[in-house]
């Protein structure tokens, strides 16, 4: 195994991977650091939802490869790889739970803001 290929999947080349990193980092930080402006439980709901939403989208985006035959116009044969969004049950479940957590966090923030004494 090549050590350079070990961190290939950890690159921030898509929005859902960035959402995973930000959601995970904020979630872990909210476990250990007192935040101001929000409660830690509200921040954990928002960041946990972002983490699950990013994981669900990463699960849905799969790489698809095929061999392009040689052609006089496009050149020699080549292996083409592209990322295709292919929904499945687990990815959709992560998305639904992530969005629900984010919405629940927003409702708790609004309730605390509107009904404060």
What pTM does this model have?
0.81
**Of the candidates 49, 82, 78, which has an alpha carbon nearest to the alpha carbon of residue 65?**
82
DSSP per-residue codes, 31-99:
HHS--SSS-HHHHHHHHHHHHHHHHHHHHHEEEEEEEEPPBTTTBS-EEEEEEEE---HHHHHHHHHHH
Mean pLDDT, residues 85-109: 95
pLDDT digits (tens, 9 = 90+) for 53-89: 999 999 998 888 888 888 888 889 888 888 888 899 9
pLDDT digits (tens, 9 = 90+) for 28-50: 999 999 988 889 999 999 999 99
Question: Is the separation of the CB atoms in 40 and 30 below 8 Å?
Answer: yes
């Amino acid at each position: 195994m090549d050590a350079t290929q070990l961190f290939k999947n950890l690159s921030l080349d898509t929005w859902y991977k960035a959402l995973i990193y930000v959601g995970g980092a904020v979630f872990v930080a909210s476990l250990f650091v007192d935040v101001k402006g929000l409660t830690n439980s509200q921040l954990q709901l928002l960041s946990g939802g972002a983490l699950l939403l990013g994981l669900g989208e990463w699960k849905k985006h799969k790489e698809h490869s095929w061999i392009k035959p040689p052609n006089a116009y496009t050149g020699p044969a080549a292996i083409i790889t592209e990322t295709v969004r292919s929904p499945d049950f687990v990815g959709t479940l992560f998305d639904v739970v992530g969005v629900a957590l984010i919405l629940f966090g927003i409702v708790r923030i609004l309730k605390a803001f509107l009904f404060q004494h």
